[in-house]
Amino acid sequence: MEANVAVRDLKRKLLAEVRTLFRANGSAWKAPILQVLKDLKHADVRAVLFGGTLRSLLVSRLFEGRFGRPRDIDVVVLGTPLSELEKRFSGIISRHTRFGGLKLQNGHWHFDVWPLEETWAFRKDGVVARFEELPSTTTFNLESIAVEVWSEDGKPRALFSGHDQFFHGILSKTLELNRTDSPFPELTVVRAVIMASELRFKIGPCLGAYIAENSTALSETAIDEIQANHYGYSRITGHTVKQITQVISRRSSMQKAIELPRMGQLHLWEGELDTMPHINLHFLGD
């Protein structure tokens, strides 16, 4: 019962953060975001904010006590083909993505926009694409969340959270697999280590086993290249990420959530320090 109350409270908080994001309060940094989203509204395109965008909003409020600024904006649209999106946003398209969507840049903001039916998991599973099912398509629990960009006919803004795995992950401070069939396993490993490290969350047991299985042949150079291709730069050095994957792999057989070290707190890995003498984690915002 307490968990259900806590989840409902988090849902209210998240919706409040989305309302704040959409409030035109004179903040110059919001203008490029609102412009893109208002273009979708004027075209009568139904859309949701998805994944990491929403995680950033909620995590900033919960753990930093302030409104967050997502690094990227992920938008999924319903009933609008890619060709129509290309026409509507022709002036700000930076490239096409490998997942059947568009990478847009408006001002300093980057947007990933794609048709719902192009979502990789829907195409792989051969199922009907619905916003209600989006939470089941993500690799990680902390991305399995979607919220309507614009509510319909004055109705409350819809929130799609599947079995609430996103909120349970926030409450337990644990990053876990949501589904295991990622099309890019090495990218999944790198993203998992970086996300858990920056959030200072634990690695769940299923994700720990996945990292152990898919990180053995992953070199430091490859890790840096994966980050450069995905983020545009290395957020944590390949050397450090490799060390973290090695420790996760050794601990994965314990079948429980794995704590990651914080800056200056290497004793969290007591007994393994001899193999990791130079680890130096970098956290954005520190």
C-alpha distances in Å from residue 124, one per residue of 49, 103, 181: 22, 22, 10
Fold of domain 2-172: Beta Polymerase; domain 2 (3.30.460)
Tell me what pLDDT residue 160 has.
Answer: 97
> pTM of the prediction?
0.87
Query: Which residues in 264-273 are b (16+ Cβ under 10 Å) and which e?
Result: eebeebeeee
Contact 10, 167 (CB under 8 A): yes
Per-residue model confidence as pLDDT tens for the chain (286 residues): 567 899 999 999 999 999 998 887 767 888 888 888 888 888 888 999 999 999 999 999 998 888 888 888 999 999 888 888 888 888 899 898 887 898 888 888 888 999 999 999 999 999 999 999 999 999 999 999 999 998 877 788 999 999 999 999 999 999 999 999 988 999 999 999 999 999 999 999 999 999 999 999 999 999 999 999 988 899 999 999 999 999 999 999 988 999 987 644 333 333 333 333 333 333 333 3
